């Protein structure tokens, strides 16, 4: 499918290395780009993002074929593979750059995200209320090349083994039917 026909979901669930690794494995996802969004300066650098003062979140853009995977299915995987109940934190990663957020591209995405969060809260899926923000997408800045495909290039790194591998195990355990076969 041509890239212009793909839909785009922009998600922030802590460190973008984790979310990128998860969504790269989902059937119907053609490409995932790590980057920054939701902040207040143009063209931020990683060192600036790390301070937490730019307002940006580490996020990903997921380019997907909605005939193979829906936005709501992506949300289901998103919520299952990070903690949406901790404000500005994922594990040992602390700061606004690690917040849980959905940056919607369309009103339909906004409505689906809000409805899904309401469902999760009403069903008490988590032990605390969801703090994931739902915000209109502004500028998205690609992270440097060394942050793209980080997990695939660094599987032996301790961060990958202790933080990302458990997320991938959870993904393969609960969503094996949604994974790419190659």
Report the catalytic residues: 15
In DSSP notation, 82-111 reads S-TTSTTEETTEESGGG-EEEEESSHHHHH
Residues 171 and 73 sit within 8 Å (Cβ to Cβ):
no
Looking at the DSSP assignment, which residues form a beta bridge with residue 6?
none
Helix (H) or strand (E) holding 172: helix 165-174
Residues 6 and 69 sit within 8 Å (Cβ to Cβ):
no
How many other C-beta atoms are found inside a 10 Å radius of the C-beta of residue 161?
Answer: 12
Contacts for 75 with CB less than 8 Å, ≥ 6 apart:
102, 112, 113, 116
């Amino acid at each position: 499918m041509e890239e212009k026909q793909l839909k785009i979901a922009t998600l922030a669930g802590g460190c973008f290395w984790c979310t990128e690794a998860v969504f790269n494995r989902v059937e119907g996802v053609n490409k995932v780009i790590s980057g920054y969004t939701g902040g207040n300066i143009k063209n931020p650098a990683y060192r600036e993002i790390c301070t937490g003062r730019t307002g940006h979140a580490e996020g990903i853009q997921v380019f997907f074929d909605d005939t193979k995977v829906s936005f709501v299915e992506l949300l289901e995987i998103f919520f299952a593979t990070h903690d949406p109940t901790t404000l500005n934190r994922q594990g040992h990663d602390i700061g606004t750059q690690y917040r849980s957020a959905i940056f919607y591209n369309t009103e339909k995405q906004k409505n689906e995200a809000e409805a899904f969060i309401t469902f999760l809260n009403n069903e008490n899926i988590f032990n605390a209320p969801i703090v994931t923000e739902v915000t209109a997408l502004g500028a998205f800045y690609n992270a440097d090349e060394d942050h793209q495909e980080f997990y695939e290039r660094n599987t032996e790194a301790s961060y990958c083994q202790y933080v990302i591998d458990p997320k991938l195990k959870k993904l393969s355990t609960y969503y094996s039917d949604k994974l790419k076969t190659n």
